[in-house]
Structure formats: C-alpha cells, structure tokens
Structure 1
Amino acid sequence: MKTFITSTFLAIVGAVSLPAAQAGEIWRASGLEQPESALFDAANNRIIVSNIIGNPLEADGNGYLSVLSPDGKTITRHWTGRMDAPKGMAISGGKLYVADITKIRVVDLASGKLVSTIDVPNAVFLNDVTADASGKVYVTDMLADAIYRIDGDKPELFVRDATLASPNGIFADGGRLIVASWGKGIKSDFSTAEPGGLLAVDLATKAVTPLPGAQKFADLDGVIANGDSIYATAYMTGTLYRYKDGGTPEVVAHLKPGSADIGTDGERIFVPLMSEGEVAALTLD
C-alpha cells in the first residue's frame, strides 16, 4: 500500500519473525520517489515505474513516470508528468494505462506523452491495472470492492463483490483475472480485521472464486502469474509469496515494508520499494 501509513506500523511489523529470503536479488535502482508500480515493457525492453510523491489519495499534480533499463539503470527520470498519484499500469494497443486515484491516464508508449484521461464514474481508489489477450483493460478499486473494465476509452463496472475484500493487485491470466486482496475491515493504519488472499475472477461469467489454500494469510498488494506460479507482495511486511494451485503460499523473499505492485519479464520480478525509493530485481524461481 502506501508510504504515508508506513511509519504507523513499522514498529509492529519489525517484531514479526519470518523465514529468510530465498529469491536472489540481482540489482536495485535508487533515486525514485515513492515508486508504486514497476511494469516491464517487452516491446521496448525497459521497465516503467510510477512515482507517487505525497499522499496517494491526493490530487496534487506531483506524480510522474520513470523509465529504467533492464539492468536497473535510469534512462529517463521524468518521462511522463501531469499526474497525481500514479499506481498500477498496463499496456494495450501501444498505449500505457495508469491508475491515478479516480482516473485512468493514457500515455503513448512511443513518446511518453500523456494523450488522454479517462474519468471512472463512482471510483474511489483505483489501484492496479492489467490487460487481457483481447486488449481490454481492467483496474481494481481497492476501497469499493470493485473491478472496472475499459474497452477503448469507455469505462464500465465489471464486477463489484464483497468477496474481493479490498482488491489491490490484478493480473490477467488466460480466461481469468487473478486478484490480490488486501483484506476486510481496513483500520486507520491500514492493518485489517481479516487479512486478504488470492482470488480468481472468470472473464466470461464474472464469478469470483477464492483460490484454495490462499485465503486470509496476508494484506496483499501486487500480483503476477508466471507458468504455474502466482507471486504476490504483502506491503505491510515486505514479504513476497509464491503460490501454486492446490498448495499454500510460501515466502520466497522478505524485503522491507513498502513492497507494492510487482512486474515481471518472465525471468525476474521487479519489486517497487515505496518507503526506500527503490526498485529491486529478484530472480524468478
């Protein structure tokens, strides 16, 4: 989740004993400002990072996007500006779609120019974004238990269901969306009365199904799928989990609190570390 709540719970999570990290760290990119999402742009062989700078709920005009090389070097620090608190991102049709509180910012991938803004009616706190094989874009609304779909420039409510339990991360995986839930009963420090887990949303039927063995285990943020594995971060503890169908989530890395919306190039996981202003690249087991 977000930097402005980090100081509230650092003392709490610092006392938690967790397994040692298993996934190896390859590099870290520093000098970023509250990096919330790291998306691999395969067509251009680069990593796009969203920077919030300030309160993630405030439309303050401070947010921007950065571009990193595959080895973590800064290519362009301020690539795209004129944003408020940009978070999750997805690529569709040569355009980059960025969640920005209650709007979707649309950026031309070739130039980095902000070409349009899509207002999402009734949105509260848009968070992560993904695109399916047909090019349709999906975005979670964490504080409304909802997922919106954008086809072209037209947003519509795709599903609203209490079972989503504060949906944060989202990743299109074949005929389903994989969703990382923050949990139920969010408190003032963003801890929860009931931690979240992993769910699947069927693209055809919109049915929401909890993934077996992966419920109520952490307040989850980012999520990706690779092969038969699903990876998800827990922002408040900095934990990276791996889950396989029929199993239970296992810890593969433990970073500091602030691990947010992850990305992958199929071989590595890119983890934004909001509280440290860095992005870490880890090996993909």
Structure 2
Amino acid sequence: MLAAFLIVLSEGYSQQITIGKVWEVTEGIHVPESVLYHAPNNKLYVSLIGKDGTDKGEIAIIRPDGQIENLHWVTGLNAPKGMAIYKDLLYIADVTKVITVDIYTGNMVDELTVPEATFLNDVTVDDNGVVYISDTRENKIFQLKNGKISLYMKNVPSVNGLKYHKGMLLALAGKELWAIDAQKQVKVIAKGFEHGGDGIEPINGGGFIVTCWPGLVYFVSEKGEIQKLQDVQGKMNTADLGYNPKENIIYIPTFNSNSIIAYKIN
C-alpha cells in the first residue's frame, strides 16, 4: 500500500513524502535487529539476534532486491545489534563486546570487551575511523580509537541509535534526537517521540528517518519538526533501519515479526 504524508516546515513551504512497500523477506530471518546498507558492495548486512539465545546470533547478507545471499555469513555471536563500516571493516555491537569483521572474507579480526558495558546497542564511525558505541542501559557512549575503548560521554538517557553526519554525532537519547559536536556540546534537534528512538538515518533532500522499536516510524525535518509516518504498534516492531540513498529506500527489521521490509521514499 502506498501512503502519502505531508510535512509542514517552518519556512512556510511543505515537503511531501510518499513511502511504499517494495518487498518483504521472511525466509530464514530470526529476530532481525539492525540493517546496514553498504554502497560499495551494494549489499545489506543484517544482524540476527536469533531465537535460541547466546551463541546463536548471526550476520546475514541480503541483496537490495530482497534476495538472500548468505543467511549465515558470520555466526557464533550472542545478540548482535547495530553495525557500521569503515573501509574494509564491519563493527558490530554484541552485548558487551565490539566485534570487528573483514567485509570481504567474513573473518573475525578483533573482539574487544567494553569495560562496564551491559547493553551495547548501536555503532557509527566518523570520517577518521573513530568508532562510537551506545550502551542503552548504562546511558553511555563509548569510543573505539586506535584499538582502545574508552568512555566518550555519560548521562545520555537511554541512548540507542547513533549516526555520524556532517561533523556531528547524532544520538537518539530517549525521546529526543541530539546532535553532539566535537567539544561534546549537545543540541537537541527534536523531541517528543512517543517512545525512545531506535534507528536514525539522514535521507536525500534533508531531514531524518527515525524508528522506535514498538512500531513507529517518523520523519524529522532539519528544523526539528516531527511527523509520524507509520504506526504499527501491536502488529510488528520497527527496529534499527538501513538506508540506500541511491534508490531512496529504507530497510526496516521487524524484530519479533522475523522479516525485513523495504520501503521506497518519494
């Protein structure tokens, strides 16, 4: 079904966003938490927490047309969630560890335990290869730099989704969207989400798509206006999304519904 939504911006003009379901894949998908699109490889990396608990987590690879390439590309993880790629390395948040995988071989090249971490959730990388990892339960953001992990920022309430964008570290802090500069100064871009934010992606034309795990998808303009695009609470989850800027498509993992859904943005 194709749905249209009108976003009214503060300058007095309007921006119309239309989203429509392109495909849905369910085969072999077991509790998907995060999707990451990688343009150079033209592939979707999907973190699968798994139904059976510890040591059943995996990373799958799906093609942008929804065809499965490899459901068991990386195995033996615990409960993998957010991911980020820098050069040839994939960084994965896996409960209390940051796992590093070679994106060409699928081999694990590093495994670092984050001291005092209890629920690592999302990952992003800046232009210099510095990795940032959120810990939702501890309200902290950690930093991986030059092979060492340190605390980057504390007292970030229920911090989940992270995205480095235009020199700023974007963070979903509970029901707010923050922009954190290099001096760790915080600007609240938007607030008022119905639930704590999960995933965030900047999109073509400006603004962001934000998901909230219970089943909400929002558009946030660069001015901070919030518009609810989808509310499927009670029907499925909407976890940490991926975005393909070339095709202008978002990929949403439905967690307990065990599928990945692609939506076109127009």
Common fold by TM > 0.5: yes
Structure 1 residue 252: Cα displacement: 1.9
* Aligned partners of 2:45 and 2:62 also within 8 Å: yes
Contact 2:236 2:257 in 1 (8 A): no
* C-alpha contact 1:133 1:174 (8 A) present in aligned 2: no
SS of the equivalent of 1:275 reads helix
Out of 122, 131, 140, the residue aligned to residue 137 of structure 1 is 131
Distance in 2 of aligned mates of 1:43 and 1:146: 31
Instruction: Give the gaps of 5 or more residues in structure 1.
Output: 1-18, 184-195
Give the fraction of aligned pairs with identical amino acids, expressed as a percent.
31
Q: Which residue of 2 aligns with 1:82?
A: 76
5 Å matches for 1:182-221? 183=174, 196-202=175-181, 204-212=182-190, 214-215=191-192, 217-221=194-198
Q: Deviations over 1:32-90 (max 9, x none)?
A: 000000000111111000000148xx6x1110010001101100010001200000000
CA distance in 1, matches of 2:142, 2:105: 27
- 1:18-57 matched pairs, under 5 angstroms: 22-31=18-27, 32-54=29-51
Q: Which SS does the other structure have where 1:87 is aligned?
A: strand
Q: Conserved in 2, the CA contact under 8 Å of 1:268 and 1:283?
A: yes
Query: What is the one-letter code of the residue matched to 1:48?
Result: Y
Gaps of at least 5 residues in structure 2 are: 6-16
Runs of 4 or more consecutive aligned structure 1 residues displaced over 3 Å after TM superposition: 254-257
Q: How far apart are 1:216 and its partner, in Å?
A: 5.2
Q: Is the 8 A contact 2:189 2:224 kept in 1?
A: no
> How big is each residue's C-alpha offset from its partner over 1:135-161, in whole Å with a ceiling of 9 and x where there is no partner?
111111101111111124211111112
CA distance in 2, matches of 1:127, 1:273: 16
> Is the 8 Å Cα contact of residues 18 and 265 (structure 2) preserved in structure 1?
no
CA shift for structure 1 position 274: 0.5
**What CA distance in whole angstroms lies between the structure 2 residues aligned with 1:77 and 1:180?**
29
After superposition, the CA RMSD in angstroms is 1.9
Structure 2 match to 1:224:
201
Which of 196, 205, 226 is the matching residue for 1:249? 226
Query: Which is bigger in relative contact order (C-alpha 8 A, separation at least 6)?
Result: 1
TM-score, normalised via structure 1 length: 0.81
Q: Which has the higher helix share?
A: 1
Is 1:180 the counterpart of 2:172 in the alignment?
Answer: yes
Match of 1:280? 261
**Quick check: 1:198–1:215 contact (8 Å CA) kept in 2?**
no
Structure showing the higher strand proportion among its residues? 2
CA contact 2:125–2:132 (8 Å) conserved in 1: yes
Amino acid in structure 2 at the alignment position of 1:271: I
Question: Which one-letter code corresponds to 1:30 in the other structure?
Answer: T
* Distance of aligned partners of 1:216 and 1:250 in 2 relative to their CA distance in 1, 3 Å threshold: closer
The TM-score with structure 2 as length reference comes to 0.87
- 1:92 — aligned with what? 86
Q: Distance in 2 between matches of 1:215 and 1:178?
A: 16
